[in-house]
Amino acid sequence: MTSNPFGEFRVECYNAVKNAIVNLGFESSQVNIKFEIPPPSIDAHLAFPTFTFSRSFNISPKKIYDEILKFHFKLVDNVKLTAGYINFCVNIKRLADILFNSISKLDEQYGFIPAEKPMRIVVEHTSANPIHPLHIGAARNAVIGDTLARLLRARGHKVSTHFYIDDVGLQVSVAAYGFSKIKSFKLSMKPDHFIGLIYAITNCLLEIWKIKRDLDNAESDEMRIKLLSKLSEWVSIANELRERNEKLFDLLNEGVNSDPDPIRAVAELDLKYELGDESVKSLIREMCSMCIEGFKETLKKINVYHDSWDWESDIVWSSLVKKVLKGLRETSFVYEEAVPIFDANSAANKLGLKEKLGLNVNYEIPKLILQRSDGRSLYTTRDIAYTLWQFRNADKVIHVIGVEQSLAQLQLKVALAALGYTDLAENFIHYSYELVSLPGFKMSSRRGKYVDLDRILDEAVERAKMEVLKRNRNMDGELVDKISRMVGVGAVRYALISVSPNKKMVFTWDRILDFNRNSGPFIQYAHARACNILAKVEGAFSDYDSSMLEDELELDLVLIVSRFPEIVTEAADTLRIELITDYLYDVALKFNSFYDSVHVLKSKPIQLRNARLQLVNAVRIVLSNGLSLLGIDAPNRM
């Protein structure tokens, strides 16, 4: 029994090429034997390009090909030489025997090949500010990070998922300032939504207060006109926020405007928290904890869980930030200009990092200010300390953070190397992703305008329910709700990762819940169809004959299903999660064509019927295991 059916074919091709090279009088180590998957126009399943070897050793491709033909093959059906490529075709019927045996033995573990050297890996993801609900952008972060963790675990790595609670900084202090004014106020809504509304109202009121102060001190009519325009905009926002909850708005308005200088009060709150003032710690931790409970409730809905919730303030209050500052100051890359400044570009040049990091040698990495003039640390400095803390129990650390943080993450990596941790810098990965956009909507948490994930999920489930009821008008109501939740959540998760992370994603319902093309429901529906066929079978179907499989559609299915372990391995090792979504779509597409065109249950003789049932079962397991990697449920009915 093998865990990698297509890999058996690949090994045979490799041995044939290696044997040919040795027989031609060369060492196999002299040749990098790598295979390519030929394009669909080429009638082959693996191709060995001979160009480099032929040129280097003055050996014609024909001589290599002739030597390969002498090899005793078991799985290879035929070998052809075409334009410098030696193309190998697999015997798909023999491959089917290996596949069906592997599937029967491995079942839920099919596709998951353990890595030769398992690692301890930290995947930090989601890490949203605890001042408002998770929005659709944070959802992409969460689903990408969770899927990465699932993929890496499938390869046998020991993965720990972390949420970095960003509880230090001015935004949190603004929310906490507002929270301090209405602590006794009770509002019947999710705690993260409650904190989000407090933050938006407080920020709005502070902006209005600042503008009014600046108007009193304006020295020109031009300045007054600009300030009045800004004031009009913020007053309009204030009216919108008051409509959401008049009592809360009025309480906050009274609290902010009774303060002689609310801006200074927020700054003092910010400083006191970083210095560890106990009363401020109690206030901010209480507020953040409320928001985090809301986060956990939302993340549970999309099957996302974290192993560790790490407070940024704990890093600040420990000695780690001071050690980082001291260590960097002792290098030749930090100079003082009222504040300590890290010359990241000089460090990268001297340490030879630019080529390793894939940067143009002429690219000038901006300098990094390490500390404020009042002694407060800055985000990236704290992040350096946090990353060192993560590496205490990890061989590799992956930060899933938006592409807009690329510079800060680059500076972090250079700082690690400057501190002498070159090995850690090489094993630190910034897994960046582009933003999610919703046509016709512009988000701004400062203005209280965002599309929260809770609302997205609720709408997805309702839309899924309408689709499920179209297809099953007599289905039990409880079952409809269960399937609708599976489909709705699956649709959102799939949409957030089916687009390559380095591309922007446009969130539209017509694409996300389309049962007829590339979407989560499309793949779930293919799985339900496979289950439907198998549910009609009485008894086992172990008496099969793979040599009876003749239809081109079923042979294509055998081939693609046999490649699942290689796809999972490549996706995990290269961190390209979109390989899984692309692959599952191809499987579902091919299976639907097979389902519509090839008789299974009525096939004769019985050995052919059973071979086709084995294939249907293989598709079911691949779709189920693949969806599990994506954190998506695989319903048996839809």
Convert the pLDDT of each residue in 529-578 to its tens digit. 999 999 999 888 999 999 999 999 999 999 999 999 999 999 999 999 99
CA distance 514 to 524: 11
Tally the domains of the chain.
Answer: 3
Distance of CA 240 to the CA centre of its chain: 35
The values of phi and psi at residue 81, to 5°, are -105, 120
Stretch 44-73: mean pLDDT = 92
Is residue 291 in a domain?
yes
Is residue 278 in a domain?
yes
**Residue 123 DSSP SS3:** strand
Is residue 599 in a domain?
yes
Per-residue model confidence (pLDDT) at position 441: 55
What's 604's DSSP letter?
S
Is residue 53 in a domain?
yes
Res. 218 pLDDT band, cuts 50 70 90: confident
Stretch 255-259: mean pLDDT = 94
Neighbours of 89 (CB within 10 A): 18
3-state helix/strand/coil string of 193-230: HHHHHHHHHHHHHHHHHHHHHHHHCCCCHHHHHHHHHH
What's 81's DSSP letter?
E
Is residue 638 in a domain?
no
Q: Residue with structure tokens 């500010």?
A: 129
Q: Which of 62, 90, 118 is the last residue of a domain?
A: 90
- β-strands 436-437, 396-402 pairing: unpaired
Q: Long-range contacts for 328-331 (Cβ within 8 Å, ≥24 apart)?
A: 328/370, 328/415, 328/418, 328/419, 331/418, 331/419
CB 31 within 8 A of CB 50: no
Pair 535, 623 in one domain: yes
Tokens of 601: 């249950």
The residue length of the chain stands at: 638
For residues 470 and 547, which has the higher predicted lDDT (pLDDT)? 547
Tokens of 94: 């023999």
Distance of CA 207 to the CA centre of its chain: 35
Tokens of 35: 């295979």
Pair 201, 69 in one domain: no
Which amino acid type is present at position 554? E
Tokens of 446: 């400062």
Pair 178, 32 in one domain: no
Domain span at residue 459 reads 454-629
Pair 481, 604 in one domain: yes
Query: Which residues, at least 6 apart from 68, have a Cβ–Cβ distance to it below 8 Å?
Result: 16, 17, 19, 20, 79, 86
**Residue 309 DSSP SS3:** strand
Q: What is the mean pLDDT of the chain?
A: 94
Res. 272 pLDDT band, cuts 50 70 90: very high
CB 534 within 8 A of CB 591: no
Residue 425 has pLDDT above 80, yes or no: yes
Q: CATH number, domain at 585?
A: 1.10.730.10
Distance (Å) of CA 173 to CA 180, 253, 273? 10, 17, 9
Tokens of 518: 């590339």
CA distance 343 to 329: 11
Convert the pLDDT of each residue in 228-241 to its tens digit. 999 999 999 999 99
For residues 559 and 219, which has the higher predicted lDDT (pLDDT)? 559
Neighbours of 138 (CB within 10 A): 24
Is residue 119 in a domain?
no
Pair 462, 594 in one domain: yes
65-67-69 Cα angle (round to 5) = 70
Neighbours of 7 (CB within 10 A): 18
Residue 443 has pLDDT above 70, yes or no: no
Q: Which of 303, 322, 344 is the last residue of a domain?
A: 303
Convert the pLDDT of each residue in 87-129 to its tens digit. 999 999 999 999 999 999 999 999 999 999 999 999 999 999 9
What's 442's DSSP letter?
-
CB 140 within 8 A of CB 433: yes
Is residue 468 in a domain?
yes
CB 408 within 8 A of CB 379: yes
Per-residue model confidence (pLDDT) at position 446: 55
Neighbours of 114 (CB within 10 A): 13
Pair 201, 291 in one domain: yes
Stretch 273-300: mean pLDDT = 96
CA distance 385 to 400: 17
Convert the pLDDT of each residue in 315-330 to its tens digit. 999 999 999 999 999 9
Q: Which helix (H) or strand (E) holds 406?
A: helix 406-418
Least confident of 207-211, 264-268, 477-481: 477-481
Is residue 573 in a domain?
yes
- β-strands 85-90, 76-82 pairing: antiparallel
Pair 61, 181 in one domain: no
Q: Long-range contacts for 223-227 (Cβ within 8 Å, ≥24 apart)?
A: none
Per-residue model confidence (pLDDT) at position 188: 83
Pair 183, 52 in one domain: no
Pair 73, 197 in one domain: no
534-536-540 Cα angle (round to 5) = 60
Q: CATH number, domain at 69?
A: 3.30.1360.70
Q: What order do you get walking across the sheet with 396-402 strand by strand?
A: 308-311, 158-165, 120-124, 396-402, 428-433
Q: Which of 47, 75, 90 is the last residue of a domain?
A: 90
CB 135 within 8 A of CB 448: no
Per-residue model confidence (pLDDT) at position 54: 87
Distance (Å) of CA 491 to CA 140, 571, 611? 13, 21, 32
CA distance 147 to 497: 8
Pair 69, 201 in one domain: no
Give the pTM.
0.93
